[in-house]
Chain A
Amino acid sequence: MGAFEEPPSPRTLEGRPGKAGTSLETVVSEEAKMRATTRLRSMLEAPGIIVAPGAYDGFSARLVEAAGFRCVYMTGAGTAASHLGQPDLGLATLTEMATNAGHLAACVSLPVIADADTGYGNALNVVRTVREYERAGVAGCHFEDQVAPKKCGHIAGKQVIPASEFAQKIRAAAEYRTDSDFVIIARTDARAVTSLDDAIERGNRYHEAGADVIFVEAPQTEDEIHRVAREIKAPLLMNQVPGGRTPVVKTAELERLGFKIVIHPTVCMEAAIPAMEAALRRLKDTGTDFHDGPTLSPLDIFKKVGFDWWHEIEEKYRS
C-alpha cells in the first residue's frame, strides 16, 4: 500500500480539482490532507448527513468518488459476492475483508467506512480486526452483535449474542484502536431476533460501551425508524437496502430525523448486475458484436481508474 496511503503531494496536483474519473487528483484541499479517520470524525461533528454509497471493489469506489460523494462504504455482502462469488453468510475471512477494504482506501481519497461483520470472533478477534482495518487505511467500521458466522442483516435465521458480551467487544474495539479518530460503529441485529425495544436498549448500551455511532439493522416500519431516532441517544447510521426489510426513506427526511450517516450498500452492485447480464446476453445473442450502445474504449476505462494521474508521473520521469 505504502505510497498510496498518503494523499498525493498538492504541489503536483494544484489547479486540477475534481477532474472526472481521476479521483487521486481531486486530493487538493487541506481537509483532504488529513488522515481519513480525522476527516470522517470531522464530518460526524459537522452539520449534515453523510451519504455513503456502497462500493464492493476499487472500480466502484472510484465511481463513488467521481460522482462527488464525500464518503464511501465497503459492503461486506458485495465483497463476498464480487470477490468470492459467494453469499453473505460469514464465509469471507477477516483477511479477505481487510484486503478489500485496503484496496478501496488506497484508490480513493474519501474516508472509507467498512463492514467488519461480527469482528470474526470474540473481543480478542475484534481487537485484531480494528488493528487490521486501521492499517488498511479505513476510517471507520461497523461490528454487529450476531453470532459468528453471521448472516446478511436482511435474511432470516439470524441470532444475536448477549448484549453484555457484545458491549465488551465494543469496549475492546474502542480501547484498543491505535488511532483515537478511528470511528467505531456498533450494529445491532436484535430487531429481527428479539424486538425493537431490545434493539434500542442495545443501541444505547453499545454507545455507553464506546461506540461512536449506532446502527440498528433493519427497522421494519417508518414508525420504528422514528423510534430509533428518538430513543437512541447517539449518532445514528441508517442502512437503506431497497427490497430489504426497511422502508426506503429520503435522505432529507433521515437527516431531519437526526440520522448522521446513511449507507446504500447495494447501489453499485444492483446497477452492475443487470448491466453486466444485459451486455453478456447481447454478446451471446449476437455472436460477436454487442456494441449496439455507447461503448467505452480501453482508455476511457483506464481514465475512470486514474490513468491521467499515472500518465503524468510516467511523462515526468521518462528517461
Chain B
Amino acid sequence: MKATTRLRELLARGQTLFVPGCYNALSARILEHVGFPAVYMTGYGTSLALLGMPDAGLATMTEMHMNARYIANAVKVPVVADADNGYGNAINVIRTVREYVQTGVAAIHVEDQVIPKRCGHVAGRRVIPIEEAVGKIRAADTARRETDPDFVLIARTDARGAHSGSLDEAVRRARAYLDAGADLAFVEGPTSVEEVTRVCREIKGKVFYNMTGVSPRFTLEEMNQLGIAVAITPGSTFRVTMQAVYDYAVALRDRGPVAERDFNDTFQRHPLANVHGFAGFDQIQRWESEFLPPEELEKYENSVGYRPPGSPKTT
C-alpha cells in the first residue's frame, strides 16, 4: 500500500494519531522499530542535524526534500514532513509539492510565514496576507491532486504568535486554508489549554497539534477528548540525542578513552545492542546467500567481526 493511502487510513480511525519527530533516517528507523505507525520529519532538526544551522529559513527546499527522501526510504511507515513556507510563492509551492510527493513522504505542512521563515516557537515571525496564503494552499491542493490525490496536505498558520498576531486571526486563517483544500489545519503555537480547546472547537475540520515549545502538553486521552486528529512531538527526539551525545562527549573529555569502554559495557544490555543487526547486515547476508555465487560466501570464513546468523562459520 502506498504510504499516502496508509496515512489516510490511519487518519480515518477517528482517534488522535500520535506522531513523534525524527530528524534523519536513523532516528526514523528507531521510532518505527519501537512501533510508531507514522513518523514526522522536523525542519528544525533537519536544519540542525544536516547543516548545523538554526531553523531560520537557511535550509533549502532541496536539502529538506533530500532529507525527507532518505527518511521515507528508510522506513515503511508513512512520513509527515515539514515543508516550511513552500519556499516561495504559489508557483514555488507547486514545485515543492511535486518534489515532496516524489520523495515518498505521505504528507507535508506548508505555513503562511514570510520568506525566510523561522521556527514557530521563536519570536520575530511575520505572516503573509491571508489571500496570498490561500492561493498557496490552493496551488498545493491542485499540485497534489495532479500527482497523488492521497497525499495529505496540512496547512499551518503562524498567525497566533507572529508579530501583532492573535488566536482569532489564526483560527480565521486555519478555516480559510481548510476551505482552500487543506486536509488538516495546524495552528502553530497556542499557549494555553484554553487556546487549544478553542482551536479544536472553532475549527470544523481535522486539527493538527504541535506539542512542543510554548504549547501545553497533553496525554493521549486528553487529546482524544479535545478532538485532535494528529499530534506531533517534533523536537524531543533530537534533544534526546543532543543530551546523550553531550553527556558522552563530556565523559570522554573528562575521563578519557576509558569512557568508551564503559559505555560499550552498558550498551551491551540495551535493546539496540545488536547494532550491526539493526543496521541491516543480516539482510545483506540473506541477499548474498540468495543472489551471489556460493563461493562468494567463502569470504566469511576465517574472517573476524560481526557474523550474521546463518553465515558460514569459521573453519
Query: B88 near A90 (CB under 8 angstroms)?
Result: yes
CA distance A259 to B57 in the complex (A): 36
B51-64 toward A: CB 8 Å interface, digit per residue (1/0)? Answer: 00100111011110
Query: B62 near A148 (CB under 8 angstroms)?
Result: no
B115 at the interface (CB under 8 A from A): yes
B contact residues around A94 at 8 Å (CB): 60, 62
Query: A124 near B62 (CB under 8 angstroms)?
Result: no
B18 at the interface (CB under 8 A from A): no
Q: How many residues of B contact A (CB 8 A)?
A: 16
Q: How many residues of A contact B (CB 8 A)?
A: 16
Closest to A90 in B: B88
A contact residues around B175 at 8 Å (CB): none
B97 to chain A, nearest CB (A): 13
A contact residues around B58 at 8 Å (CB): 121, 124-125, 128
B contact residues around A120 at 8 Å (CB): 60
Query: B60 near A149 (CB under 8 angstroms)?
Result: no
Query: A91 near B60 (CB under 8 angstroms)?
Result: no
* A95 touches which of B53, B62, B91, B92 (Cβ 8 Å): B62
B95 at the interface (CB under 8 A from A): yes
Query: B62 near A93 (CB under 8 angstroms)?
Result: yes
Query: B115 near A148 (CB under 8 angstroms)?
Result: yes
Closest to B92 in A: A149
Chief secondary structure at chain B's binding surface: loop
B contact residues around A93 at 8 Å (CB): 60-62, 87
A contact residues around B92 at 8 Å (CB): 90-91, 149
CA distance A89 to B90 in the complex (A): 11
A58-101 toward B: CB 8 Å interface, digit per residue (1/0)? Answer: 00000000000000000000000000001001110111100000
CA distance A128 to B89 in the complex (A): 21
CA distance A216 to B58 in the complex (A): 28
A120 to chain B, nearest CB (A): 7
A204 at the interface (CB under 8 A from B): no
B116 at the interface (CB under 8 A from A): yes
B contact residues around A124 at 8 Å (CB): 56-58, 116
List which A137-168 residues lie within 8 A (CB) of chain B.
148-149
List which B123-153 residues lie within 8 A (CB) of chain A.
none
A contact residues around B62 at 8 Å (CB): 93-96
Closest to A128 in B: B58
Query: B116 near A125 (CB under 8 angstroms)?
Result: yes
CA distance A149 to B89 in the complex (A): 7
A251 at the interface (CB under 8 A from B): no
A109-121 toward B: CB 8 Å interface, digit per residue (1/0)? Answer: 0000000000011
CA distance A95 to B58 in the complex (A): 11
CA distance A90 to B94 in the complex (A): 12
Query: A95 near B63 (CB under 8 angstroms)?
Result: yes
List which B77-121 residues lie within 8 A (CB) of chain A.
87-89, 91-92, 95, 115-116
Beyond A90-B88, A95-B62, is A121–B95 a contact (Cβ under 8 Å)?
A: no
CA distance A43 to B91 in the complex (A): 39
CA distance A89 to B61 in the complex (A): 15
Query: A121 near B116 (CB under 8 angstroms)?
Result: yes
Query: B57 near A125 (CB under 8 angstroms)?
Result: yes
Query: A121 near B91 (CB under 8 angstroms)?
Result: no
CA distance A96 to B57 in the complex (A): 16
CA distance A201 to B158 in the complex (A): 37
B289 to chain A, nearest CB (A): 32
Q: What are 5 A-B residue pairs whose CB atoms fall within 8 Å in the complex?
A: A91-B91, A93-B61, A121-B115, A121-B116, A124-B116
Chain B residues within CB distance 8 Å of chain A: 53, 56-58, 60-63, 87-89, 91-92, 95, 115-116
Chain A residues within CB distance 8 Å of chain B: 86, 89-91, 93-96, 120-122, 124-125, 128, 148-149
